């Protein structure tokens, strides 16, 4: 690391720039989540800045400031997790329980408070000192591992959750954040190496890993879409679905259920609403003159499926017809995907293979083979 103070300085500078851009997000997309993500990036930048500052003997000239920068690292992982909580939450209300995530920072701040006043550390016996040193050395790495796991689990649940109300998830599934967390593992490993192992080959690569991670986050975070792009009433309705499932599993009467099913069948088979690329549960519910809660119940109860799979099954059937028609000679696979209601070629290929066991191209070839065989 001694050979790369300039690279670490550049990396921390790039990190600060990204942090300020996220805090003042001009597009106003996922604003609260991006503020916390910006705070995460800024505290990460401070952690990176420690390295070049150390080699400039900043810790000797300004020990209090350097110590405070070190303590701020206890805010990094909580800020990332809280940002993910807001990215994945329908209702962006501040909850007091979020404050518990800052408790480790406050505890260690109080522990180091005498140092800020007197410039001296607590004095302990040898046995107690070893325990304190172990806690100080492992607390931050342990916090990083715990919050990484919590963050990744939350994003995995988000994928399942959005399939309850969206038929096109590729722009709102927060895959860029999942990939970032996977990249973050490399940074954590490199950091653990600096703290515990000091393997020289990995140490030499550490600044480049940090810089690559920041560029990755910058590229994807500045292209993100609004995750829950619904009006306030729709958001409130969607938020009540999970609560209603728990409180009243049979939340629609039998007569109403049959009535809604007839409307749903007419919309799917006659009007083919699934061809709308941006079809969502609130849109479908409005077409049925029903609530999101009722519409979701019909799909869950009668078809034993979520909204995403229910809609895309119809799209796959439409695609199968188009692939075997004259339109296939005029359109490529992407054209067929759009005509069937899909938003992307990747989602189309993945969903088509899931439901048929074949890729669209394999499906066409297999049917041509059968036709020749029958002829």
Q: pLDDT digit string (tens) for 303-330? A: 999 999 999 999 999 999 888 887 767 7
Q: pLDDT digit string (tens) for 214-271? A: 888 888 887 788 888 888 888 888 888 776 676 666 777 888 889 999 999 999 999 9
**Is residue 22 a part of any domain in this protein?**
yes
**Is residue 297 a part of any domain in this protein?**
no
Tokens of 210: 């940090």
Strand, coil or helix: what is 222? Answer: coil
**Is residue 368 a part of any domain in this protein?**
yes
Q: Tell which of 221, 247, 264 closes a domain.
A: 221
- Given a cut of 60, is residue 24 above it in pLDDT? yes
Question: 199 and 72, same structural domain?
Answer: yes
C-beta of residue 15 within 8 angstroms of C-beta of residue 45: yes
Q: Supply the range of the domain harboring residue 132.
A: 5-221
Higher pLDDT, 293 or 11: 293
The reported pLDDT for the residue numbered 36 is 93
State the DSSP string of 146-202: HHHHHHHHHHHHHHHHHTTTBS--TTTS-HHHHHHHHHHHHHHHHHHIIIII--HHH
Mean pLDDT of 100-107: 92
Give dist(CA 336, CA 318) in Å, integer: 9
Specify the number of domains making up the chain. 2
Give the DSSP letter of residue 26: T
**Is residue 257 a part of any domain in this protein?**
no
Q: pLDDT digit string (tens) for 169-217? A: 888 889 889 888 988 888 888 777 777 777 777 777 777 778 888 888 8
Question: 331 and 209, same structural domain?
Answer: no
Question: 319 and 207, same structural domain?
Answer: no
The reported pLDDT for the residue numbered 368 is 63
Q: Find tokens 């292209």 and name the residue.
A: 223
Give the residue ranges of DSSP H helices in the chain: 5-23, 31-55, 58-61, 63-72, 76-87, 103-118, 126-162, 175-192, 200-221, 232-247, 254-269, 281-287, 292-303, 307-323, 327-330, 333-340, 345-356, 360-374
Question: 202 and 62, same structural domain?
Answer: yes
Q: Tell which of 186, 221, 256 closes a domain.
A: 221
The reported pLDDT for the residue numbered 246 is 66
pTM for this model (two decimals): 0.86
C-beta of residue 162 within 8 angstroms of C-beta of residue 139: no
Question: 45 and 188, same structural domain?
Answer: yes
Question: 327 and 217, same structural domain?
Answer: no
Q: Tell which of 164, 187, 221 closes a domain.
A: 221
CATH code assigned at 359: 1.10.10.60
């Amino acid at each position: 690391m001694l050979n790369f103070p300039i690279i670490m300085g550049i990396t921390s500078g790039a990190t600060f720039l990204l942090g300020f851009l996220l805090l003042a997000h001009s597009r106003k997309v996922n604003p609260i989540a991006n503020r916390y993500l910006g705070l995460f990036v800024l505290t990460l930048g401070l952690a990176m800045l420690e390295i070049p500052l150390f080699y400039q003997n900043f810790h000797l000239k300004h020990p209090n400031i350097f110590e405070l920068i070190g303590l701020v690292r206890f805010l990094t992982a909580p800020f990332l997790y809280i940002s993910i909580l807001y990215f994945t939450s329908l209702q962006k209300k501040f909850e007091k329980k979020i404050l518990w995530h800052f408790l480790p920072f406050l505890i260690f701040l109080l522990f180091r408070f005498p140092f800020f006043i007197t410039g001296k550390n607590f004095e302990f016996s040898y046995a107690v000192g070893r325990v304190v040193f172990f806690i100080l050395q492992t607390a931050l790495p342990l916090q990083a591992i715990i919050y990484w796991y919590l963050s990744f689990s939350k994003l995995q649940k988000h994928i399942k959750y959005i399939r309850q109300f969206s038929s096109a998830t590729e722009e709102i599934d927060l895959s860029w954040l999942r990939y970032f967390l996977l990249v973050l593992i490399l940074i954590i490993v490199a950091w653990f190496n600096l703290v515990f192992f000091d393997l020289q080959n990995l140490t030499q690569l550490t600044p480049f890993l940090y810089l690559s991670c920041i560029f990755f986050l910058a590229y994807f975070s500045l292209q993100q879409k609004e995750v829950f792009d619904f009006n306030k009433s729709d958001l409130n309705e969607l938020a009540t679905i999970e609560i209603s499932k728990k409180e009243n599993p049979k939340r629609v009467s039998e007569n109403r259920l049959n009535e809604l099913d007839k409307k749903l069948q007419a919309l799917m088979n006659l009007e083919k609403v699934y061809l709308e690329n941006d079809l969502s549960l609130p849109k479908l519910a409005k077409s049925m003159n029903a609530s999101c809660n009722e519409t979701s119940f019909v799909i869950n109860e009668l078809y034993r499926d979520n909204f995403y799979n229910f809609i895309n099954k119809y799209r796959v059937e439409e695609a199968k017809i188009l692939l075997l028609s004259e339109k296939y000679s005029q359109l490529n696979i992407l054209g067929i995907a759009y005509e069937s209601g899909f938003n992307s070629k990747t989602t189309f290929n993945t969903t088509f293979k899931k439901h048929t066991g074949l890729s669209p191209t394999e499906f066409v070839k297999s049917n041509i083979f059968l036709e020749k065989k029958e002829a």
